[in-house]
């Protein structure tokens, strides 16, 4: 054995050992868990079944609702100074419009805002007859910050809600500016997921309008769609809620809310100040109930009733516990894969890989004889190294990924064919075995590297531009290029050195 061969053998052995270490968690999940150098290869949603959703956070809504809540604070501040804001309106281009009774109040409003609400920029005053409309806007920078915050908060809220769902290993991932990808393996009921995950759950407490006085009002609908007139001012919102549970009370399902300490105080104050009035409980703009306030309510609990089914109440409790979304979500994409389809796909993928490998093995053995056997050994080693690298990278194996494995086997053998054809040529040219093998390898290697790098380039582009399970194809294709190069250039060469491959009377069996 030459020193060159020895060196190769040592490197090869080390590689195999490292690959085995990477693969270990796939063999025994229990023994090699947290802290091990690699994780078991995870299977994509298309192989295990589950739910895949892509949402867009309508972040501009968060900016608008922030402006609306600033408007509410301005109103209550001004009320202290006995200045009434008749109307506040938020437009789609993030402008806040405040209507006052007389133009003498404009200066007071402007001072108030420049003192307390620095995010707002004065735009203009317009007159509607006697009544001035003061326009403010929010800077693009601030709007951008609010949007960014909204997306982050939406992800946080989704995570909380999904946790409530009790799914093993859900995936929640931000995609681009304002999208969220949500994957829940093993879940089938996508409608239930969408209700729990996708509802905004904006909870508001407002007084039911008595119809008297000049208090600004708002017309909402109840669950049956009948109009309900409530006061404009939001007395309390979902921030006050710390806990939500389903309760059965005299045959009726209700969601009982635990309030945090601040919320409890606020609730006692609100109920105390409005004895005799009706308090409307509004969820996502729908009035659920408007119970009469009989006395100041302490103890930090409130409840929502309103003809729920038990399932509805349970889902509502989940979303209230997890908190409201800062902005509505729009569903862009939703996919479900049934568990049987996934299992079938794995089976079919493996059969394809095996069928391809067997075809190729038979061909190589018949066509290149003992050298063909070397190709077959490298082929299976290639598969082994690919799986090890998938584990090492913590990659996810998808159905297109399995297809990538199958195709890599076909492409990997290309390297062997190149080398073998080259060796045959050298032998025809009259060279001896060792010279022919050396020349075959060194001449073919350049072409092999060139040819594989282009595939790697394609694979990387596909990884970057591809979506969903298609990324898995890019992963196996790219990993396949690396292992193919190693196997062809290194392992095949080593096997040629170790195995004499002599046939009777001939120099080499190829």
Site size for another protein, by CB under 8 A? 72
- CB atoms under 10 Å from CB of 73, counted, come to 11
What H or E segment, with its residue span, contains residue 3?
helix 3-27
Does 189 help bind another protein (rule: CB under 8 A)?
A: no
Is the CB of residue 128 less than 8 Å from the CB of residue 87?
no
Considering only residues 389 through 448, tell me which ones interact with another protein, judged by CB under 8 A.
Answer: 399-400, 403, 406-407, 409-411, 413-414, 417-418, 421, 424-425, 428, 443, 446-447
Give the per-residue contact string, 296-335, with another protein (x = CB under 8 A; - = no). ----------------------------------xxxxxx
Does 467 help bind another protein (rule: CB under 8 A)?
A: yes
Does 190 help bind another protein (rule: CB under 8 A)?
A: yes
Helix axes 190-198, 140-165, angle to 10 degrees: 140
Q: Which is nearer to another protein, 108 or 417 (CB)?
A: 417
Options 92, 107, 128, 450; binder of another protein; rule CB under 8 A: 450
- Would you list the DSSP string of 397-466? E-HHHHHHHHHHHHHHHHHHHHHHHHHHHHHHTT--HHHHHHHHHHHHHHHHHHHHHHHHHHHHHHHHH-
Q: Which is nearer to another protein, 300 or 328 (CB)?
A: 328
Does 341 help bind another protein (rule: CB under 8 A)?
A: yes
Q: Which is nearer to another protein, 90 or 415 (CB)?
A: 415
Options 216, 466, 498, 507; binder of another protein; rule CB under 8 A: 466
Nearest-approach distance from CB 327 to another protein, in angstroms: 17
Does 456 help bind another protein (rule: CB under 8 A)?
A: yes
Q: Which of 357, 364, 365 is nearest to 382 (CA)?
A: 357
Strands 236-237 vs 203-207: parallel, antiparallel or unpaired: antiparallel
Considering only residues 363 through 382, tell me which ones interact with another protein, judged by CB under 8 A.
Answer: 363-364, 366-369
Q: Please, which contacts does 170-176 make with residues 24 or more away whose CB atoms are closer than 8 Å?
A: 175/54
Q: Which stretch binds another protein (CB under 8 A): 70-78, 119-127, 339-347, 489-497?
A: 339-347
Q: Which residues of 284-353 form beta strands (DSSP E)? A: 286-289, 301-304, 329-337
Q: Which is nearer to another protein, 359 or 380 (CB)?
A: 359
Nearest-approach distance from CB 195 to another protein, in angstroms: 11
**3-class DSSP state for residue 329?**
strand
Does 453 help bind another protein (rule: CB under 8 A)?
A: yes
Nearest-approach distance from CB 479 to another protein, in angstroms: 14
Could you tell me the sign of the dihedral formed by the alpha carbons of 66, 67, 72, 75, in that order?
positive
Does 122 help bind another protein (rule: CB under 8 A)?
A: no
Nearest-approach distance from CB 112 to another protein, in angstroms: 42
Strands 329-337 vs 279-283: parallel, antiparallel or unpaired: unpaired
Could you tell me the sign of the dihedral formed by the alpha carbons of 148, 237, 89, 77, in that order?
negative
Options 151, 360, 388, 390; binder of another protein; rule CB under 8 A: 360
Does 257 help bind another protein (rule: CB under 8 A)?
A: no
Does 488 help bind another protein (rule: CB under 8 A)?
A: no
Q: Which is nearer to another protein, 296 or 447 (CB)?
A: 447
Considering only residues 44 through 83, tell me which ones interact with another protein, judged by CB under 8 A.
Answer: 46, 54
The span from the CA of 435 to the CA of 419, in Å, is: 13
Does 184 help bind another protein (rule: CB under 8 A)?
A: no
- CB atoms under 10 Å from CB of 167, counted, come to 17
Q: Which is nearer to another protein, 20 or 457 (CB)?
A: 457
Q: Which stretch binds another protein (CB under 8 A): 95-103, 119-127, 200-208, 357-365?
A: 357-365
- Would you list the DSSP string of 155-172? HHHHHHHHHHHT-SS-EE
Q: Which is nearer to another protein, 219 or 340 (CB)?
A: 340
Is the CB of residue 459 less than 8 Å from the CB of residue 474?
yes
Q: Which is nearer to another protein, 165 or 363 (CB)?
A: 363
Tokens of 201: 């759950």
Does 37 help bind another protein (rule: CB under 8 A)?
A: no
Q: Which residues of 260-323 form beta strands (DSSP E)? A: 279-283, 286-289, 301-304
């Amino acid at each position: 054995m030459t020193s060159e061969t020895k060196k190769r053998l040592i490197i090869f052995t080390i590689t195999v050992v490292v690959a085995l270490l990477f693969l270990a968690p796939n063999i025994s999940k229990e023994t090699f868990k947290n802290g091990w150098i690699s994780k078991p290869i995870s299977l994509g949603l298309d192989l295990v079944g589950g739910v895949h959703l892509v949402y867009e956070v309508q972040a501009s809504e968060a900016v608008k609702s922030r402006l609306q809540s600033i408007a509410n604070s301005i109103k209550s501040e001004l009320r202290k100074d006995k200045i009434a804001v008749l109307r506040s309106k938020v437009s789609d281009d993030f402008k806040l419009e405040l209507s006052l009774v007389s133009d003498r109040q404009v200066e007071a409003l402007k001072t108030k805002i420049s003192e307390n609400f620095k995010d707002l920029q004065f735009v203009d005053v317009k007159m509607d007859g006697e009544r001035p409309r003061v326009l403010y806007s929010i800077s693009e920078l601030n709007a951008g910050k609010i949007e960014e915050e909204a997306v982050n908060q939406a992800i946080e809220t989704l995570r909380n809600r999904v946790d409530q769902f009790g799914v093993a290993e859900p995936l929640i991932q931000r995609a681009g500016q304002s999208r969220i990808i949500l994957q829940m393996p093993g879940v089938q009921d996508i409608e239930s997921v969408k209700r729990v995950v996708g509802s905004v759950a904006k909870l508001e407490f407002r007084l039911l309008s008595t119809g008297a006085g000049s208090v600004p009002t708002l017309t909402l609908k109840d669950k049956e769609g009948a109009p309900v007139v409530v006061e404009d001012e939001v007395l309390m919102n979902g921030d006050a809620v710390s806990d939500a549970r389903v309760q059965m009370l005299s045959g009726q399902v209700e969601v009982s809310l635990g309030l945090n300490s601040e919320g409890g105080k606020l609730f006692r104050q609100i109920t105390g100040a409005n004895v005799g009035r009706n308090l409307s409980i509004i969820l996502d703009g729908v009035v659920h109930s408007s119970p009469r306030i009989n006395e100041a309510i302490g103890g930090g609990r409130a409840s929502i009733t309103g003809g729920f089914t038990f399932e509805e109440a349970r889902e509502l409790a989940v979303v209230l516990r997890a908190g409201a979304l800062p902005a509505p979500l729009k569903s862009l994409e939703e996919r479900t894969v049934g568990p049987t389809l996934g299992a079938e796909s794995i089976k079919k993928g493996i059969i394809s890989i095996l069928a391809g490998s067997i075809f190729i093995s038979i061909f190589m053995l018949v066509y290149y004889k003992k050298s063909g056997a070397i190709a077959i050994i490298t082929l299976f080693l290639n598969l082994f190294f690919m799986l090890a690298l998938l584990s090492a990278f913590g990659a996810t194996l998808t159905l297109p990924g399995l297809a990538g494995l199958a195709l890599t086997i076909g492409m990997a053998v290309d390297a062997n064919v190149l080398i073998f054809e080259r060796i045959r040529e050298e032998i025809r040219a009259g060279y001896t075995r060792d010279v022919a093998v050396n020349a075959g390898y060194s001449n073919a290697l350049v072409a092999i590297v060139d040819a594989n790098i282009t595939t790697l380039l394609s694979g990387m582009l596909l990884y970057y531009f591809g979506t969903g399970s298609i990324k898995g194809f890019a992963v196996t294709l790219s990993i396949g290029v690396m292992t193919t190069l190693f196997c062809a250039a290194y392992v095949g060469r080593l096997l040629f050195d170790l195995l004499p491959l002599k046939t009777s009377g001939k120099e080499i069996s190829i």
